[in-house]
Amino acid sequence: METIKIKNLAWDTAANIYFPPGFDATRKYPAIVSTHPIGSCKEQTSGNVYGAALAKAGFIVMAYDASFQGESGGLPRFKEDPNFRVADISYVIDHLVTLPYVDENRIGAIGVCGGGAYTIKAAMTERRIKALASITGVNFGRLIREAFTGFEPLTALEAMGQQRTAEARGAETRVDNYLPPSVEAGCQAGITDIDVLEATDYYKSSRGQQPNGATSGLFSHNAAAVGWDAFSYAEVLLTQPLMLVMGDKPGGFGAYRDGCEIYGRAASKKKELVVLKNTSHYELYDQAEPVSQALARLVPFFQGNL
């Protein structure tokens, strides 16, 4: 693995490149961009799990930190703006096509959770992506309009505007942590949703915790996400080979419903919906059996379409 910095709009993007076994810099390899979940970082599931595994299968894989997050640049910090998240993917591809060992005609993309939906949206206009996969993908725009704003998006937008005004006048920024500090604290607070509790187990314990996996968002800059949708124009613009992997245990973040929706809406002639039995959202992040089942479908999918 190699850690690099690449040029973004006006800052650098931090990325890890995973190489196939026996890598030969004189050869041309297919490449895959791997996009992390909301509140995550490149050292978590997008890189150390799916990035590393796909590299072992023969691909160059670039996992990166989103702008304003992780080790990437950009201010203000903890900004989760879907427009920038989608644009990041193109900047990563801009770097990939400069590498002599990458075949520019065989570039794919994969994303986990929110990263899966960002990947879907990016592929609609980023035609350098020839095939894509979403792992338990979540449409962040839909999620924030619903659960993340208490199903009161207009009220939330008013509060976001007021907070942004206050910050522009010098107030301290408001950074919200999307998760309780521990599973125990979540249960004590009356949380029962499987996604929230399993996310907490992943991000707030040694299982998946990383220094840059902040699980946080800048409240005052969330308005852009409220007005954004990952799936708009999919019936016309999403035409590349598409694989959607998800578990059959639905949770509050909505990956199951989002996966079914985009499968039906995508214009792709080649599209596969892979629903793993007795599997939850966060088991697909790092648990051996669900991940191995997902990779058993992902590897031949990318090999056959890149």
pLDDT in tens, 209-241: 999 999 999 999 999 999 999 999 999 999 999
Confidence of residue 280 (pLDDT cuts 50, 70, 90): very high
Confidence of residue 26 (pLDDT cuts 50, 70, 90): very high
pLDDT in tens, 165-215: 999 999 999 999 999 999 999 999 999 999 999 999 999 999 999 999 999
How far, in Å, CA of 3 to CA of 151, rounded?
Answer: 40
pTM above 0.95, yes or no: yes
Region 53-61 average pLDDT: 98
pLDDT, residue 100, reads: 98
For each of the domains in the chain, give its residue range(s) and CATH number, in order of start: 2-149+226-305 (3.40.50.1820)
User: How would DSSP label each residue in the chain?
Assistant: -EEEEEE-SSSEEEEEEE--TT--TTS-EEEEEEEPPTT--TTSIIIIIIIHHHHHTT-EEEEEPPTTSTTS--SSTT---HHHHHHHHHHHHHHHTTSTTEEEEEEEEEEETHHHHHHHHHHHH-TT--EEEEES---HHHHHHTGGGTT-HHHHHHHHHHHHHHHHTTPPP-EEESS-SSHHHHHHTT---HHHHHHHHHHTSTTT--TT---EEEGGG-HHHHT--TTTTHHHH--S-EEEEEESS--TT-HHHHHHHHHHH---SSEEEEEETT--TTHHHH-HHHHHHHHHHHHHHHHHH-
